[in-house]
Amino acid sequence: MSKHGFGGKVAYVDLTNRRVSEEPIQESMVESFLGGYGINHKLAYDAMIPGTDPRAPENPIVFGAGALVGTSVPGASKIFATTKFPIGKMVGSSAGSMSFASMMKWAGYDHIVLTGKSESPVMVVITDDTITVEDARHLWGRDVYEVTAELKTVYDGAGTICVGPAGEQQVTNAQANVDGISSLGRGGLGAVMGSKNLKAVVAYGTKGMTIADPKRFEKSVSGLVKRMMEFKARNQVVDLGMMAGWEGLITEYFSTEHLTPEEVTKTFGIPSYKSIKKSRVACTSCLVGCKDLLEFDDGECSRFTMGITSFINIPAFATRFAINDIKQAAYIYNKFDRLGLCGQTMEGLLDFPFDLYEAGLLKKEDIGFELKRDYESVNRLVDMMMAREGFGDAMAEGWEGMIEFVGEKAKGHAYTINGINVIWEPRLWALGTMEFEQLVSPRGPYSAYGGSPTTVPNLPPDAMKRHCGRVGGSPELMERIFAVDDGFRLGSFTRCFEDWVCLMSCMGVCNRAGNDRYYSAGLLAELYSAATGHDIDVPSVMKAVERVWTISRMTNVREGVLRDDSQIPQQWFKALKTADDKEHVMKDYYKKKLLRKEDVQDALDDYYECRGWDKKTGIPTKEKLAELGLDDIRP
């Protein structure tokens, strides 16, 4: 096939024998699955042996860069890692950004499939048309920041993915870090890499990309850049990044049982953020720069500088544990990053023993000290987990390990879906697409999929329809979504925006709000056509996305995952009392109706029917598989 828009190759790396083979990326693969996230999931389906333990040598890791990565398309920087994860035992993809994906494509590779286990620590080094497996014993035991700095020095600014000590010890919620600031988190990719004795992957390419129709491509890119630069709120977004939405976040997500909104705002609000912000950090080709470099130089903790995907993660974590000190909260989050622990997962993972302790199911003698929601207790628990001492060893195995330690009574206190903590709390705002999508995602609660206008309060139906049209919703889908008197059908609406984020992921384009708002399905189809020479219209590109989502579902069905495995959390149907003495209950988007379990089940029925999957089992029907050309895909 033509290499326009693609590096051109898929590489297979056997870590056991340190062998590398490669093949051209197949045109049929590109036509069916577009690129990036899509091709990753087809490669994973082909490479995976059903029932394989996530930490077994046979479990593959597939790294892939989207079809527009490495070009001048703004925000086209996403790298995806697809594997069977230790937490939840589901097959899915972690997403990161920064420079690695572009470097990998500029070296000539779109996807890397890693299998096996090295006898000693190694790293995979990707350079122009060459991949080698090299010794990494000198990096073993060192933290993420140290390893990243050394690799970027030795390999002169290369893109890096590495694990910290948590990954080496196969802690289930270990993540991999990209360029020391972005993360491939949620589910335990770091533990999978650690189980293979894989410390790092390094990519440095100089070949660049070729474009099939440069004039056509540049016309779309220049128009996009012009709109981005003229956006009236651009200066605020560039200055504050995700903190530009602070007012909404403080009322919807950070008002917990332990700190009031006023306390959170005083400690972590915009003035505090600006006082410690050293600079903003942008990924390759991004015109916004939503990541933060923070610097602290006084207080109880030693001076340190940290990079983070967004400062918002710090107060989101701190409010769980009544940590009302910005430096203490940042210090712990910095500790997560250095160790290679997923911060979003650590929020829920650390919260669980506190809940058990407060319920009397976990005793002081089980832990070794009295648990209090404070900086000291959280720090000690992290140290115990990393040392795998006593209860810390159970924590290192996630919710499953802690439930085994405490007993069956602990299950009712686990605020999880598919074995991993809920991120989006529907009682604080409403059951929108991001909250609902946690029940149907290929890997459980995840920060990106299902993002839609439901994150903005009280948008009228006409605005919702415009967004659906922008992201590629077909007339038939939109008719289904809005064929109700009270707003929209949540299940079908979620499907529409899952498809949108999946399309962005196949293209490798960042779907954070500061970038997402400028794109449409039509624009992405045009950019893809001009870049690759594969002309594709919106209906065709959305059909390809549906194919991607369905093969992802079938991969998990093959692992035995069915609809009933994604249990609706019982906590959703209990009032949440926050520190400002308010009680919050789960309602629909327009706050007209208190939602019951049967309402959520009805939304799930709608979702599965809309997808063409059996609503009882969640398995795609034979008719749907045939429609998508996936007749050979079997459970």
DSSP label of 587: B
Residue 588 in contact with residue 489, Cβ under 8 Å? no
- Rounded Cα gap, residues 445 and 423, in angstroms: 6
Model pTM?
0.95
Cα–Cα separations (whole angstroms), residue 224 to 72, 76, 99, 454:
11, 13, 21, 25
- Rounded Cα gap, residues 305 and 293, in angstroms: 7
- What's the confidence (pLDDT) of residue 360? 95
**635 CB-contact burial (10 Å; exposed 0-12 / middle 13-18 / buried 19+):** middle
- What's the confidence (pLDDT) of residue 254? 65
- Rounded Cα gap, residues 562 and 558, in angstroms: 9
Which tokens in the block code for residue 288? Answer: 């916004």
Residue 397 has pLDDT above 60, yes or no: yes
How many C-beta neighbours within 10 Å does residue 449 have?
27
Sheet containing strand 9-14, edge to edge, reads 19-24, 9-14, 109-115, 61-65, 79-84, 91-96
- What's the confidence (pLDDT) of residue 545? 97
Which tokens in the block code for residue 416? Answer: 């999880």
Which tokens in the block code for residue 22? Answer: 């490669």
List % helix, strand, coil for the chain (3-state, nearest 5).
45, 15, 40
89 torsion bin: left (phi>0), alpha (psi -120 to 50), beta (else): left
171 pLDDT tier (thresholds 50, 70, 90):
very high
* pLDDT one-digit tens code per residue, 493-538: 999 999 999 999 999 998 887 788 899 999 999 999 999 999 999 9
Report strand pairing: 583-584 vs 576-577. antiparallel
CA 298 from centroid of its chain's CA atoms: 33
* pLDDT one-digit tens code per residue, 314-352: 998 998 899 999 999 999 999 999 999 999 999 999 999
* pLDDT one-digit tens code per residue, 430-481: 999 999 999 998 778 887 766 788 888 889 989 999 999 999 999 999 999 9
Residue 184 has pLDDT above 70, yes or no: yes
- Return the SS3 of 582: coil
* pLDDT one-digit tens code per residue, 545-575: 999 999 999 999 999 999 988 899 999 999 9
Closest by CA position to 517, among listed 288, 332, 273, 279:
288
Full set of structural domains in the chain with CATH: 9-203 (3.60.9.10), 238-341 (no CATH), 350-421 (1.10.569.10), 433-627 (1.10.599.10)
